[in-house]
Amino acid sequence: MNYYIVTTIVFNTLTKGNIKYIHRSNDGTKIIIVTTDTVSNYLHTFADTITLSEYTFTNNSDWVGDGTGIDAEDFELGEVIYDPTIDDI
């Protein structure tokens, strides 16, 4: 798997069927994705779920807004699984 933060513009160009997890930022301008694809036009990339999780805890106001972050297990378990049949972004 590959772990990225992308803009909504980049997200809209990706193959939705290859996205396994999505989490939109609180302001809606950035999206965390877990995908099997390689994305070249990203804001951030992460080696694994642990570094991605640490990033969300450090920048929690962007992602959860309650002083916490997203646990690595949530990315691995696909707690928020992206449904490619829904195009609401």
Amino acid at 1: M
Domain hosting 34: range is 2-77
Split into its structural domains, the chain has a count of: 1
- Identify whether 86 is part of a domain: no
The SS3 of residue 49 is helix
- Identify whether 82 is part of a domain: no
- Identify whether 47 is part of a domain: yes
Query: Would you state the structure tokens that stand for residue 41, as one six-digit string?
Result: 């036009």
pLDDT digits (tens, 9 = 90+) for 12-61: 999 888 888 889 999 999 999 999 999 999 999 999 999 999 999 999 99
Confidence (pTM): 0.85
